[in-house]
Amino acid sequence: MELTAKNNKKIRNTVILIGTALILITVIRLNYPLLQQSPSLSSYKEYSSVVHAGRDIKLTNNQEECDIFTGEWVRNTDAPYYTNKTCWAIHEHQNCMKYGRPDSDFLKWKWKPDGCELPVMNPYQFLDMARDKTIAFVGDSVGRNQMQSMICLLSRVEYPIDVSPTTDEHFKRWTYVNYNFTLAYFWTPFLVRSDERDSDGPTHTGIFNLYLDEFDESWTSEIDEFDYVILNAGHWFTRTAVYYENRRIVGCRFCQIPNITDLPMTYGYRRVFRTALRAINGRKNFNGVVFLRTFAPSHFENGMWNEGGNCLRRRPYRSNETILEGLNLDFYMIQLEEFRAAQREGKKKFRLLDTTQAMLLRPDGHPSRYGHWPEEKVTLYNDCVHWCLPGPIDSWADFLAHMLKMEARKTSTERPFQRQKKMH
């Protein structure tokens, strides 16, 4: 009788354990859909050894030669790979589902380059590539938007811990302990030294002094320790500003101050990129790679951001349905020209993270009015600048993962050549 009771107890315990395991597996699969298609442990270990071998990273010839930045958005029923309930890193103003966005179709797309496939970023693979590395996002709040997207995508494997040296939310650092991988964010919306001249001004958004030829040392003095720097700027240049060069006023952008020449905003935009890239080229101890992330257009219709404009479209454009024009085209071309000039100097490694075309086609991916409660008073009431999380900006991680693989291949092919030179 005692043996029978013990056996029954063992059977009950076994059934409970199996049932609990099945429930956990179901919960994980529902909340983390990417894990349904993640590699097995054996294939993950195989990938890990491939990454560390560098030159053996598997990219097909057409992936290596393909322009990943020209293409179309195609359906992706597997997305999204996280939700606003599974990721704590989402900024309130980009938390579209929390604030009542009624549609979710904008989540179900991925970028498809012409002529090749761009794999969705695998968080295990990315963290393995990023092991012992550091990445800094330098620029405005769209750069922060990108960093928070990255944290959410990687949260399926690990959450980072906050190791910020200051309580200032404009300068954050996060470390993935199990990978010794650090993400940092440096707030510098103008890239150069700046200060607020007037909190109101003719457009009631403040007037800023921009010192177009002076480095912003809050980030330029910090980048030496980083392996990768992702640089961006753009949307703040529509604000009124007074331009300085050699500590003297040379003009302004719609400042309406007597005896100051009005200059186009592209004047300041070109010079700040020139100064920022010159700052990087001049860092003797910086040996990392700089990714210039190109301008991501806003999509205000029927008025500017402070004139009731909004973005209410509910599907992506096809590439033949819209064109890059006006200020968007001006900003993009300035970035390309200054990028190429910095590259020609040959002092540092510069790469182009060209998100402009892909994001031009996504008028449906902005928070619009769904970044706050309806009764809240906020400056950017209809937000057609930033991107919902989850949302189209998650595809930037796919671009970055591909580019890091390319960097690993370049590094591994350079090493034998460098060793050969030393021997001679």
Q: Closest Cα to residue 174, out of 152, 195, 197?
A: 152
**How much of the chain is in helix, strand and coil states, percent to nearest 5?**
40, 20, 40
Does residue 412 carry a catalytic annotation?
no
Residue 141 among the catalytic residues: yes
Single pTM value for the model: 0.82
CA 55 to chain centre: 26
Please tell me which residue in 216, 383, 394, 398 is annotated as part of the active site.
383
The token pair that represents 168 in the structure block: 């200032």
Say if residues 83 and 390 touch (Cβ distance below 8 Å): yes
Average pLDDT over residues 239-255: 95
314-317 contacts, C-beta under 8 A, 24 or more apart? 314/103, 314/105, 314/106, 314/364, 315/105, 315/106, 315/364, 316/73, 316/109, 316/361, 316/362, 316/363, 316/364, 316/365, 316/392, 317/360, 317/361, 317/362, 317/363
Residue 198: per-residue pLDDT = 81
pLDDT of residue 206: 76
Token pair for 380: 């950017």
Domain boundaries, given as residue ranges, for the chain: 1-31, 33-189+231-237+265-423
Q: What is the model's pLDDT at position 278? A: 97
- Model confidence over 280-295: pLDDT tens digits? 999 999 999 999 999 9
Q: How confident is the model at residue 374 (pLDDT cuts 50, 70, 90)?
A: confident
Catalytic residue among 386, 394, 398, 402: 386
Q: Which of 93, 128, 140, 141 is catalytic?
A: 141
pLDDT higher than 60, residue 1:
no
Spatial separation of the C-alpha atoms in residues 190 and 395, rounded to whole Å: 25
pLDDT band of residue 410 (cuts 50, 70, 90) is confident
Distances (CA, A) of 315 to 158, 256, 269, 321, 372: 32, 40, 31, 12, 22
Residue whose pair of structure tokens reads 């107890």 in the numeric block? 9
Report the alpha-carbon distance of residue 265 to residue 420 in Å, rounded. Answer: 49
* pLDDT tens string 194-219: 999 887 766 667 799 999 999 999 99
Reported as a single tens digit per residue, the pLDDT across 357-373 is 999 999 999 999 999 99
User: What confidence tens digit (pLDDT) does each residue in 41-99 have?
Assistant: 333 333 333 333 333 445 555 556 789 999 999 999 999 999 999 999 999 999 999 99
386 is catalytic: yes
Supply 381's token pair.
Answer: 């009431």
- Using an 8 Å Cβ cutoff, are 274 and 341 in contact? yes
Question: Measured between alpha carbons, how far apart are the two ends of the chain, in Å?
Answer: 85
Band (229; pLDDT cuts 50, 70, 90): very high
Average pLDDT, integer, range 165-194? 96
